[in-house]
């Protein structure tokens, strides 16, 4: 009840004069010589949400242009309209004032027209100002990477609260600003700027001290500017692989956009008591690129790595380590049926500074005290996720590593990630969100290693997204699986079979002997895979995980992968095990 009162009060009080927002965003200026200073009660980028007092931001989109809805915004009582000066649609507005086809019966207070070089950047800056810069009152931690973001967000959020630090979070899967966790139904990992700053303001109003924000490449890109005006105290980079190139245009641009997270770390002055912290996966070949961006913010750079052999995973890793201030290593590692056990080693820079470049990880850490940790969640990649959290908590918030290890033993998994289904069936069934080439290279070896019989994989690839990754996914799956059931993921406006054939081509051209079935309907694909499975086989359903819909040409179709899979098992006569 207290939480609801606080949030209601927050929304009621959230009003700003237009002049205050203009002062906060110096890239905007009045375009109509008006001296009016209306009160703004909401920031809106969708004309359907406009109401009296709204400030409407006309944003060019992938499928439509918000400038075409300015008239609608005016009719619905917008107090101000922000348009983009470089947009062709508004050239008449700049040259001739209000066009003839705009409504003429608008009553005072008359909407004020605001010109901006980028309406998206203006939206970001105004959003931060409208909510009184909530990030300044929170310890904000950003998580980025191609894979592992949502799991790392979930783990870090759990650890913060278990260690007595009230925290909220925003992720692809869910979000929490008060006491209740709610599903993220936006199908947008990083919400638009007004939603980001509103959610952070809710956290502040509810007494949170920290905020964990899944920071995607889309959100960090200057194209969207969703996170442009968010400063971070800490940042974790999990990894990067082939993904979203249809949006970014190239891998270097994709990497650069992700690295914006580290460029937005709070600048740590030499005499500052609160230094920002960058936590980076040393196993990723882009470690040095990201570390140098963090160094420009004078951040403390933490490297992390997990290794069973003790050898460096790549040639440049030992050299790259010289860019770090401290190393968190997991060695040795033991994968268990119900989780992972490993020895945590914290290595100070003095241990490798000036040492021979060929010195192995094992040699480097042998003199370091080992702290045994148990992670009750399967998947070796989750060791990396927890290592990143451990480094961040230790270095940013000065939490003793032993306390973190104790809290990690109680971590819970994330919806749609490595979820086993027990219905008494003679085969193993697992639901996971893996949907990129990078995640495939991590999960398929695990599935293959634990599978006693045939490995059957059900998966697809997104429509209207990175088309180049489709055959790559097919090739990786064919290397490890015995049977592929290729199906819909989110076809959107693309033909399902075109996507499926792209994946199949990669599987066939890989040269691996694999049986391929092409079944567009996902429920039918899952049912078919279960029908093929026999004793000792493993069926993995990849790509949907936690998501609550499948996006088709007809719109969003409700979907719950776990529930559908359980229903298919029950229709086969298997009963859910308690």
Positions at the binding site: 47, 145-151, 189-190, 216, 226
Which residues, in sequence order, are CB contacts of 116 under 8 Å at separation 6+? 25, 27, 28, 82, 83, 84, 85, 122
Residue 283 sits at φ, ψ, to 5 deg, of: -75, -15
Residue pair 478/514 in contact by the 8 Å Cβ criterion: yes
State the Cα–Cα distance between residues 334 and 224, nearest whole angstrom.
Answer: 42
User: At 302, phi and psi to the nearest 5?
Assistant: -110, 125
Could you tell me the sign of the dihedral formed by the alpha carbons of 526, 527, 529, 533, in that order? positive
In whole angstroms, give the CA distance from residue 522 to residue 505: 19
Which residues of 477-568 form beta strands (DSSP E)?
483-486, 515-518, 538-542, 549-552, 555-558
Question: Among 174, 238, 240, which Cα is nearest to 392's?
Answer: 238
Instruction: Kindly report the length of the chain.
Output: 578
Pairing of strands 28-30, 112-116: antiparallel
Strands (E), 8-166: 16-17, 28-30, 39-40, 42-44, 54-57, 80-84, 112-116, 139-144
480 Cβ contact partners less than 8 Å away, ≥ 6 residues apart: 444, 445, 447, 448, 455
Please answer whether residues 559 and 523 qualify as being in contact, where contact means their C-beta atoms are separated by less than 8 angstroms. no
Dihedral (C-alpha) 144, 150, 155, 158: value to the nearest 10 degrees? 110
How many Cα atoms within 13 Å fall on the side-chain side of residue 469? 23
Asked whether 455 and 447 are in contact (CB, 8 A), the reply is yes
> CA 330 to CA 306: how far, in whole Å?
4
Decide: 312 and 360 in contact? Cβ < 8 Å.
Answer: yes
Q: Tell me how crowded residue 62 is: count the other CB atoms within 10 A of its CB.
A: 7
Answer whether 190's CB lies under 8 Å from 215's CB: yes
Return binding residues for ATP: 145-151
């Amino acid at each position: 009840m207290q939480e609801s009162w606080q949030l209601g009060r927050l929304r009621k009080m959230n009003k700003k004069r237009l002049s205050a927002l203009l002062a906060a965003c110096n890239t905007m200026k009045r375009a109509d010589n008006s001296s009016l200073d209306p009160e703004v009660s909401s920031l809106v980028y969708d004309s359907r949400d406009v109401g009296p007092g709204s400030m409407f931001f006309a944003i060019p989109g992938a499928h439509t242009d918000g400038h075409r809805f300015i008239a609608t915004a005016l009719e619905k009582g917008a107090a101000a309209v922000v348009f983009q000066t470089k947009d062709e649609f508004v050239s008449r507005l700049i040259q001739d004032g209000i066009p003839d086809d705009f409504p003429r019966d608008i009553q005072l207070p008359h909407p004020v027209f605001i010109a901006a070089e980028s309406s998206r950047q203006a939206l970001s800056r105004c959003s931060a100002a409208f909510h009184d810069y909530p990030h300044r009152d929170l310890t904000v931690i950003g998580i980025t990477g191609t894979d592992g973001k949502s799991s790392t967000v979930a783990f870090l959020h759990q650890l913060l609260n278990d260690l007595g630090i009230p925290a909220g979070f925003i992720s692809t899967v869910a979000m929490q600003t008060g006491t209740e966790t709610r599903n993220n139904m936006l199908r947008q990992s990083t919400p638009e700027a007004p939603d980001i700053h509103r959610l952070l303001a809710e956290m502040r109003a509810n007494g949170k001290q920290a905020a964990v924000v899944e920071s995607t490449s889309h959100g960090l890109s200057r194209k969207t500017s969703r996170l442009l005006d968010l400063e971070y105290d800490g940042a974790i980079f999990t990894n990067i692989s082939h993904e979203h190139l249809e949006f970014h245009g190239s891998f270097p641009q994709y990497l650069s956009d992700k690295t914006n997270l580290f460029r937005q770390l709070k600048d740590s002055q030499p005499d500052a008591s609160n230094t920002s912290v960058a936590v980076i996966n040393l196993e990723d070949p882009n470690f040095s690129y990201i570390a140098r961006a963090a160094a420009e913010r004078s951040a403390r750079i933490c490297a992390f790595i997990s290794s069973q052999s003790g050898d460096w995973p790549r040639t440049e890793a030992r050299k790259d380590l010289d860019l770090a201030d401290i190393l968190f290593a997991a060695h040795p590692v033991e994968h268990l049926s119900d989780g992972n056990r490993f020895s945590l080693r914290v290595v100070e820079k003095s241990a490798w500074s000036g040492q021979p470049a060929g010195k192995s990880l094992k040699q480097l850490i042998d003199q370091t005290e080992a702290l045994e940790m148990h992670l009750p969640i399967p998947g070796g990649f989750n060791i990396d996720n927890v290592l990143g959290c451990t480094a961040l908590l230790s270095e940013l918030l000065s939490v003793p590593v032993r306390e973190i290890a104790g809290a990690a033993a109680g971590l819970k998994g994330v919806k749609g990630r490595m979820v086993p289904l027990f219905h008494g069936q003679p085969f193993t069934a697992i639901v996971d969100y893996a949907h990129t080439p990078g995640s495939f290279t991590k999960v398929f070896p695990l599935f293959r290693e634990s599978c006693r019989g045939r490995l059957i994989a059900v998966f697809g690839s997104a429509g209207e997204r990175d088309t180049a990754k489709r055959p790559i996914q097919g090739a990786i799956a064919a290397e490890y699986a015995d049977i592929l059931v290729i199906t819909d993921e989110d076809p959107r406006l693309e033909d399902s079979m075109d996507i499926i054939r792209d994946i199949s081509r990669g599987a066939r051209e890989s040269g691996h002997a694999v049986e391929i079935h092409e079944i567009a309907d996902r429920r039918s694909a899952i049912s078919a895979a279960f029908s093929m499975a026999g004793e000792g086989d493993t069926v993995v359903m990849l790509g949907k995980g936690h998501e609550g819909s499948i996006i088709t040409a007809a719109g969003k179709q409700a979907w719950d992968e776990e529930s559908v899979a359980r229903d298919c098992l029950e229709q086969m006569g298997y009963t859910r095990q308690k």
